[in-house]
Structure 1
C-alpha cells in the first residue's frame, strides 16, 4: 500500500530540513567554499544525488528556507480581501511577519539565524543566489498583478512589483543590520513597523488605490 500524499510530503520536508541543518553546521564551522556536497551527503547519511534532488544547488542548502518564502508577497496580493489595495496587502503581510519575528523579514535574532545571515553576506555565491530569489519573488508578484491588469497595463504591473519588492528588501536589510549589530528583535520591532508604515506609505502616495479589488 502506497503512502498517503500528505505523509510523503512531510517526509520529504523533514529530509530537506535535515539536509539544511547538517549543511549549515558544516558551512558555519568551516566556511561555505571549503565544504563539498559529497561531505554533506556523507554527514547526512544520504547519497550526493539525494542532496541535489532535494536542494537543487549547493547554495540552496543554505537558502532553502528563503526559497520557501518566495511566494509570500504574491500570495498576499492574490488572496487580498475585497476593497484592499495591492500596497495595503503587501504592507499587511510584512507587518504580520514583523509581529511574528519572522526571519523572512529580518526579525529573527536567534544566534544560529544570525550566523547564517553573516555567512550569506560574506559569501559571494550565496549573496548572488539570495538576490536571484528576491528577483524570483518580484517576478511572481508581477505575474499576479499582470493577470489583474487592464489590457496594455502589464508593463505597469512589473514597475509596481519592482517598487514594492524594493521597499520590502530595503526594510529587511535594515532589520538584519540592526540585529547583526547586536540589537534584539523585541527591541526594534516597534521601529521596524513604524519604518515599514512610512516606506510603504511613500509607494502608496504615488499609486493611490492601485489594484484595489
Structure 2
C-alpha cells in the first residue's frame, strides 16, 4: 500500500509540475494564477500547495532536484581525491551529459525555461534561496577537511563559478549559437574557472 501511495503522490506531483511549466512557458509566470494551474492539473488549490509550498516552487523544483549535489560530490569523492578536482570533474560530466543545470542544453523547452527563470524577479529571488541552502551544505562538506572560514569562502566561490558558467552557456544558446560550437567553449571556460579556484 505504501508503494501505491508513493506512486500516486509522484503522479500527482508530475501532473501539477507539467501543467504549471506548460502554462508558464506559454503565457509567462506572472500571468498564470495558481488556481489555473490547479485546474489544469485537476487538483484543488490546497492540494497543489501540499506539493509545492509556493508558486515559485512550481518552477524551481526542477532545479531543487539538484539540491545538495555539490556537497554529495565532495562527500562521495574517491579516497584521496581533492574536493575541487571532484567538483570540476562532476561539472565536466554534466556538460558532457547536456545536463540542463549546466546551461548546456539546447532543447527549446530548456532554453525557454531558463529564460523564464532569469527574467522573473520572484523566481530569481527564490533561486537565490535555494543557492544559499546549497552553499551551506557544500560548506559543511568542505569543513570536514578544512577550517570553517576556508570552507565557507570556498563554497561561495565554487557555487558562484558554477552559476556564472551555466548562465553563460544558456545565454550563448539563447542567442542562437549552435550547441556544438558552444560546447568546447563551455569546457574551456569550466577548466579556466576551476583553475582559478584554490
Q: Which category of TM-score, normalised to the shorter sequence, fits these structures?
A: over 0.9
Q: Does 1:78 align with 2:90?
A: no
Give TM-score, length-normalised by structure 1: 0.87
Aligned 1:96-115 pairs, distance under 5 A:
96-115=93-112
Q: Which stretch shows the higher mean deviation, 12-21 or 96-105?
A: 12-21
Residue 38, structure 1, aligned to residue 35, structure 2: yes
The reply to whether residue 49 of structure 1 matches residue 62 of structure 2 is: no
1:184 equivalent in alignment to 2:174: no
Q: For residues 6 and 184 of structure 2, what CA distance do their matches in structure 1 show?
A: 37
1:95-124 per-position Cα deviation (integer Å, ceiling 9, x unaligned): 000000010111111111111211112211
Matched, 1:170 2:169: no
**Structure 2 regions of 5+ residues with no counterpart?**
none
Q: CA deviation at 1:35?
A: 1.3
Give the TM-score normalised by structure 2.
0.94
Quick one: distance in 2 between partners of 1:21 and 1:173?
A: 24
Tell me the residue number matched to 2:192.
198
CA distance in 2, matches of 1:189, 1:9: 38
User: CA–CA distance in 1 between the matches of 2:172 and 2:145?
Assistant: 38
The Cα shift of 1:131 comes to 1.9
- Secondary structure in 1 matching 2:87: helix
CA–CA separation in structure 2 for the residues paired with 1:92 and 1:77:
11
**Structure 2 partner of 1:140:** 137
Q: What is the total number of aligned residue pairs between the two structures?
A: 198
The structural deviation recorded for 1:10 is 4.1
Residue 101 of structure 1 contacts residue 185 of structure 1 at CA under 8 Å; is this kept in 2?
A: no
Task: Give the alignment's Cα RMSD to 1 decimal.
Answer: 1.5
